[in-house]
Amino acid sequence: EGDVICVFSQYGEVVNINLVRDKKTGKSKGFCFLCYEDQRSTILAVDNFNGIKIKGRTIRVDHVANYRPPKESEDWDDVTRALHAKGCGVKTPPHTSSDSLSEDEEVPVKKQKGEESS
């Protein structure tokens, strides 16, 4: 979990991570859900990490519609409890570039078929 946070934190503050594990063995299933403090970081991570190789493995990084925090447990910290209550990614930044879309135009959103996330 620490390695994942270290790699992904170069694009922004990671506020929560859900490393999905096998219920019987406790071993990682090879994917996780990761929540950044703001949407810009998520976009940067998807744009820069999707398809790269880390430790000899090509990774897939994409957006998900709803962040999945870890299942409730006694080990939850205050941040995880807050994310579970109100969701993640609520601080979407306003468009700042001069060529941004007007307010009535829709922004296309990438959707993931699988469960891998950033």
pLDDT tens over the chain, length 118 residues: 667 788 899 999 998 888 888 989 989 898 898 989 898 999 999 999 999 998 899 999 999 888 877 776 667 777 777 766 666 654 444 444 444 444 444 444 444 444 445 5
Q: What is the DSSP letter of 58?
A: E
Tell me if 118 sits within 8 A of 59, measured CB to CB: no
Token pair listed for 24: 């019987």
Mind listing the domains of the chain with CATH numbers?
A: 1-86 (3.30.70.330)
pTM above 0.75, yes or no: no
